[in-house]
Amino acid sequence: MTARILTLSAALIGLAGCMPTSGIVTKTSGTTGAQIGSIAPNVAYESMEGKQASFNRARQPVAVVAFVAPQGEGCCSLDPKVVNIADQLWDLPVTVAQFSLPTSKCPHGPGCVEACNLGKGRVMSLCDAQRLAWNAYGKPAPGTLILIGPDNRIVAKASLSDPAVVVNAAKKLGQIEREKPGPGGERQQVF
């Protein structure tokens, strides 16, 4: 069991290195209003290196999205509550992503350490100064958490101040995903 957890953890960290874990939101497709049961919109973003990526492709089968209004203009402003959620889900195939809603342009740029405090891929940080993702998700209040299931449907919503509903549901979905057998009846291995 310990070997499986270590293998899964190493694989998840390795996968996080394949896709950028932070960047600036550039466009979205689909709108949901973040209604439970609706399909989550896809969010495209660009890393500091200019690499284009898709949130739905970069994330694990289960995702927790947090919309956060940053407290400062620093490049490394992950909300501690978002990091706490990621710490609770670190061993499961669950991505925790913070969508920052700054009041001015995204602070990412030359000289900014893009990956600081991202917890080795446990937390994605996407800057949404143009409010593209925010609009696609139905303009949720800052501090809103949205749980996306493996079928890309919105499963639950909660607040960062009371995240238990989303965290508990993410744990259950993550456990189910981790235990799913792969092709031929064998457990999936992520390399």
* Residue 41 within a domain: yes
Contact 174, 93 (CB under 8 A): yes
- CATH, residue 140: 3.40.30.10
Give how many domains the chain has, as a whole number: 1
C-alpha distances (whole Å) from 63 to each of 2, 43, 106, 174, 185 are 24, 13, 23, 9, 25
Residue 150: the pLDDT is 95
* Residue 111 within a domain: yes
* Residue 79 within a domain: yes
Give the SS3 label for residue 124.
strand
What is the four-CA torsion angle of 4, 8, 10, 11, rounded to 10 degrees?
A: 140
Query: What residues have CB less than 8 Å from 183, skipping those under 6 apart?
Result: none
Residue 166: the pLDDT is 97
Bridge partners of residue 64, in order along the sequence: 96, 147
* Residue 189 within a domain: no
* Residue 190 within a domain: no
Q: Which domain holds residue 57?
A: 2-180
* Residue 165 within a domain: yes
Residue 73: the pLDDT is 54
Mean pLDDT by groups of 10 residues along the chain of 191 residues: 39 48 88 83 89 92 93 66 94 94 66 45 84 93 96 96 98 94 48 30
* Residue 186 within a domain: no
**Within its chain, how far is the Cα of 137 from the centroid?**
14
